[in-house]
Amino acid sequence: MSRGNVLPETQMPWGFNGFAPETDGTGSDPHSRSGFWFYSRSFRFFGMRLTHQPSPWCEDYGSMRFFAYLTDGNMGDSNSASAYDPASSTWLPYYQKHTMNAYCNAESCLTLEVTATEHGAIMRFKFPKDTSTSAAADAGWKTTRRVEAIMNTKLSLEKGLPWINDTVQHGTSGTDGLAVLTGHTTRTDQGPSASEMRFAHYFYATVGGGQDGMQPAQPFRFGHEGLDIGTGFLDFHSEDVDDDTLVLRVATSMISPAQAQANHAAEVQGVSFESAMEANKAAWHDVTSRMTINDLGPGYTDQQAEAWRTIVYSSMYRAAKYPRKLWEIDHATGKAIHWSPDTGKQEDGVFSTDQGFWDAYRTTYSWLALLFPERFAESMQGWLMRFEESGWVPQWAHPGSNGGMTGTMSDVTFSEAIIKLPHCVGSSPISATHGLGVPAARAKGYCVNATGLLAASMRNAMVDPRIPGSQGGNSGGNGRACLNEYIEHGYIPLECKDGSAQVSRSMNYWHSDWAIGNAARLLNRSSEAEILLKRSQKWTTLFDPKLAHFRPKYANGTFQDGFDEFAWGPGPGYTEAGPWQYRFEVPYDPIALQTTLKANGFDGCDLVQRANTISSAFHFGSGGQYSSLIHEMTEMGVNAWGQWELNNQPVWALQHMQVAFDSSVTGKCATQAQQWLRRSNSMLRADDAMYPGDEDNGSMGAWFLFNMVGLYPLSPASDSYVVGSPLFANVTLDVGAPRPLVIAASNQSPDNVYVQSLEWNGERFDGVTIKYDELMQGGILHFVMGKEPPVHDEL
């Protein structure tokens, strides 16, 4: 099972680099090539890996590994490693400490500490004191402290291009006399364009002695010892290492060796380990302090209360890692610069990458909109830069445009930014004054280029990537597959083979068109808005009124024969799920879906209840990918229940659709959903198996955070959040307003899951949604909870 794909990185929030232990990335382990180089329960340690891996499914790039160990000074070991005990290590977003059990004496063992800066890190290696006997010294044994740097640790050299190699070189700093390691690692194994494959990730590192790492400790040896040229080490005599401590300071750049050295000078040169760690800690404190659990409520032991805090703040950490800020600073001008995988050269401006919109659009950006709108706006600027440089918005960027998943879900996120954030005119933030606009008081120095965001989404909606000159097609999966067929029929017919998973892909297109249509309407683009909103209403074309399922169709309007309600896969028409998971995937118009269901003799609330209570059946479909067991199938049966595939994204809206079918938070459908929403939190564990499935790009962490505070972005590009069942008695959210947003729940307990009444700023609240603008002004959302559903009229 994936258990969240959670990689314990020490880094800055949304940072340029991450640092995590490499436990299985060298040697003959087959996973070393597929991204699974860290296992939480492995007892091997190959060093701290500098990584850009958002998920093991898409592998790593620009990776390098730093390590220290003891040797006799003559040994060159490409598999240098140690035993370590992860349970005895310190794991924090701003600091890690690990003990190398292979390098000990009777008194102590080698320890490795790391903290990160924006473009680098400081690592402190504390060696055991040299206790070599005189007899051993006479025999030629001299315990040597070795610091090692290995490039491209994922064994991609075997796939390397002949005109460039990973390198590590040695020198001496002219300013402080410290030993220097420099080099680069190359991108060799991914990307549609030659420019992407040719980039290098440069590093500049210094090594010094003592606790502060500022004492010159010149190595007596630098070499490769017959190893790859991408491996280098520095050997130090024990008597030359002050306090038995070596400190490595490293910074990197995607632009040039000179930029790496400039980043080093700006961020780590002369900086103590402690001060760097405090700066990193402060950055993460700013992130996590946006949400404060004031009172969990009764019914929890101290151990359970601590577990919930671990889960909450670990989820906030996950939701503050992507998209990555892969830009640097021109230290002469103070302006942002970046290497572009689209142009293959240095460009001006900020740059966003390492995220898949199919995962992130559902929750990650809506969480940013609520607590980190300034970061939301900054990330949109970075994505627009991608659009300007390539002509498309990459749907899975890593670091360039890579195909993956279905739809162009950036459309929903861009539209959410247009609808929720203030707009830019020139360099000044303003706000829209009509429709779903943000009040002028919300402008706090950040804004989005609404016209640019709309243009990027309109390209997805209007330009078929197969048209010559569109720069789309198979180049990175840009644009919408089968767009012309979708426009012609209102859905993607089975005959269009360019777009597999025709049902879920059509549903993604409908949702995107609805979102873009709302954004276009807000920007007074009424003609485009009308076209797109009409397209979004075509979801009825794949709805089978006899079965109340969405099914694949041919171009002539007939359904595919042999429907199997439990069959997964692109062949049967669905992405990472089956008909049950996509049965309610009209989150932008739940009332229309419920009306259609009832007109055909069904009730949406009853169908959701059935999804919760039938077995977790799944059948292998066709289309290769799902013709055998995949981990999402296993996780649904083991970690979730019924057809509620909370372990993966397609069904995340299911329970909240029940709420949205209702008109009151105390109604029949809403209260049915509250039971399951509260139960969903039981899937979480405060350990290395925290999540029930893929925690992709912070999306699952954000899902549970929303669920625990009792709000959910059912359709992110709307102006509202759906109300759920809060887990805690009192939570404060810093939304950037003069007063915080307080979510209070009276009579709260683990058993009291049903909302009896709701007030907003002291006034009775009867609906099921609350507007974003109102939440962002702060106030008190006050729930009264109970053990039984309130008395309500039958719908």
Identify the pLDDT of residue 792: 60
pLDDT band at 266 (very low <50, low <70, confident <90, very high): very high
Q: Which of 41-45, 142-146, 522-526, 580-584 has the lowest mean pLDDT?
A: 142-146
Phi (first) and psi of residue 224, to 5 degrees: -120, -20
Which of 6-20, 78-92, 615-629: highest mean pLDDT?
6-20
Residue 332, pLDDT above cutoff 80? yes
Q: Which of 127-136, 211-220, 511-520, 570-579 has the lowest mean pLDDT?
A: 127-136
State the DSSP string of 343-380.
TSSEEES--EESEEHHHHTTTHHHHHHHH-HHHHHHHH
Residue 405, pLDDT above cutoff 90? no
Residue 273, pLDDT above cutoff 70? yes
Q: How far apart are CA 411 and CA 393, in angstroms?
A: 9
CB 518 within 8 A of CB 419: yes
Residue 347, pLDDT above cutoff 70? yes
Asked if residue 678 belongs to a domain, the reply is no
Identify the pLDDT of residue 736: 94
Residue 229, pLDDT above cutoff 60? no
Q: How far apart are CA 411 and CA 420, in angstroms?
A: 14
Tokens representing 158 are 């075997």
Residue 352, pLDDT above cutoff 70? yes
Mean pLDDT of 574-583: 95
Identify the pLDDT of residue 426: 57
Residue 432, pLDDT above cutoff 50? no
Identify the pLDDT of residue 139: 41
- Report the residue count for the chain: 795
Tokens representing 523 are 């920007």
Asked if residue 275 belongs to a domain, the reply is yes
pLDDT band at 249 (very low <50, low <70, confident <90, very high): very high
Identify the pLDDT of residue 438: 41
Q: What is the C-alpha radius of gyration for the chain, rounded to an integer number of angstroms?
A: 27
The CATH number that applies at residue 154 is 2.70.98.10
Domain residues for the domain of 41 are 3-288
Q: What is the pLDDT of residues 646-656, one digit of tens each?
A: 999 999 999 99
Residue 34, pLDDT above cutoff 70? no
Residue 570, pLDDT above cutoff 80? yes
Residue with tokens 């206790």: 131
Instruction: Please tell me the total count of domains within the chain.
Output: 1
User: Interior CA angle at 626 toward 623 and 631, to 5°?
Assistant: 160
Residue 722, pLDDT above cutoff 70? yes
Q: What is the pLDDT of residues 129-159, one digit of tens each?
A: 876 544 444 444 457 898 988 875 433 222 2
Asked if residue 575 belongs to a domain, the reply is no
Mean pLDDT of 236-252: 92
State the DSSP string of 284-349.
HHHHHTTEEEEE--SS--HHHHHHHHHHHHHHHHHTTS-SEE--EEETTTTEEEEE-TTTSSEEES
Identify the pLDDT of residue 228: 52
DSSP H/E element including 236:
strand 231-237
CB 320 within 8 A of CB 14: yes
Identify the pLDDT of residue 201: 93
Q: How far apart are CA 92 and CA 111, in angstroms?
A: 16
Q: Which of 179-193, 484-498, 618-632 has the lowest mean pLDDT?
A: 179-193
Q: How far apart are CA 633 and CA 583, in angstroms?
A: 17
Identify the pLDDT of residue 428: 46
Asked if residue 117 belongs to a domain, the reply is yes
Asked if residue 479 belongs to a domain, the reply is no
Identify the pLDDT of residue 156: 28
Residue 470, pLDDT above cutoff 70? no
Q: Which residue has the higher pLDDT, 402 or 104?
A: 104
Mean pLDDT of 104-124: 96
Tokens representing 29 are 């382990």
Residue 737, pLDDT above cutoff 80? yes
Asked if residue 251 belongs to a domain, the reply is yes
Taking all residues of the chain, what is their mean pLDDT, rounded to a whole number?
A: 88
If phi > 0 it is left, if psi is from -120 to 50 it is alpha, else beta; for residue 270 that is left
Asked if residue 204 belongs to a domain, the reply is yes
Distance of CA 373 to the CA centre of its chain: 17
Residues whose CB is less than 8 angstroms from the CB of residue 136 and which lie 6 or more positions away in sequence, other chains included: none
Residue 502, pLDDT above cutoff 90? yes
Identify the pLDDT of residue 67: 94
Identify the pLDDT of residue 217: 85
Mean pLDDT of 75-102: 88
> Is the bond into 587 cis (omega within 30 degrees of 0)?
no
CB 502 within 8 A of CB 552: yes
Share of the chain above pLDDT 70, in %: 87
Q: Which of 8-17, 143-152, 307-316, 555-564 has the lowest mean pLDDT?
A: 143-152
Tokens representing 721 are 């959040």
Asked if residue 389 belongs to a domain, the reply is no
